[in-house]
């Protein structure tokens, strides 16, 4: 599977997982006018952010890790915090815990404001 296909699959699975969890909880209000793009949970803030995938990027420069998990997509730092890199993400596609050529790099800004629920 090509890396771009894997990224798309991860984002769709993460988004579907988050949206599905919210629907079960009765909190699926995506009335932000931003569509149904991926939602990213920022662990240090305890907030969810809408986002939009804009472009694949070359693997040079600084990137923040985006971690797919059972509850969707998550990262440590969000807007306004040191460590947030403005939506320059990497996903550890090959599972070796290092940023290298086997991983996916892309631009996907978080759209504020963050919120407490999905």
Q: What is the residue extent of each domain of the chain? A: 3-27+37-112
pLDDT surpasses 70 at 11 = no
pTM (global) more than 0.85: no
User: Which is more confident, 70 or 38?
Assistant: 38
pLDDT beyond 80 at 76:
yes
- Quote the pLDDT of residue 72: 85
Q: Is the pLDDT of residue 41 over 70?
A: yes
Nearest by Cα to 39 from 69, 76, 14: 14
CA distances from 94 to 2, 36, 83, 98, 99 (A): 12, 27, 23, 9, 9
For the chain, give the percent of residues with pLDDT over 90.
Answer: 62
Give the residue-averaged pLDDT of 17-44: 59
Residue 40 contacts residue 48 (beta carbons within 8 Å): yes
Q: Quick one: average pLDDT of 85-112?
A: 95
The per-residue pLDDT for 70 is 77
Say if residue 113's pLDDT is above 70. Answer: yes
């Amino acid at each position: 599977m090509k890396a771009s296909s894997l990224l798309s699959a991860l984002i769709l699975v993460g988004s579907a997982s988050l949206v599905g969890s919210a629907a079960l909880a009765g909190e699926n209000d995506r009335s932000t006018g931003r569509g149904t793009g991926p939602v990213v949970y920022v662990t240090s803030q305890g907030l969810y952010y809408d986002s939009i995938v804009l472009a694949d990027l070359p693997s040079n420069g600084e990137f923040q890790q985006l971690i797919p998990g059972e509850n969707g997509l998550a990262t440590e730092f969000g807007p306004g915090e040191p460590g947030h890199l403005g939506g320059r993400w990497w996903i550890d596609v090959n599972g070796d815990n290092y940023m290298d050529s086997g991983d996916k790099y892309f631009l996907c800004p978080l759209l504020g404001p963050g919120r407490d629920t999905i």
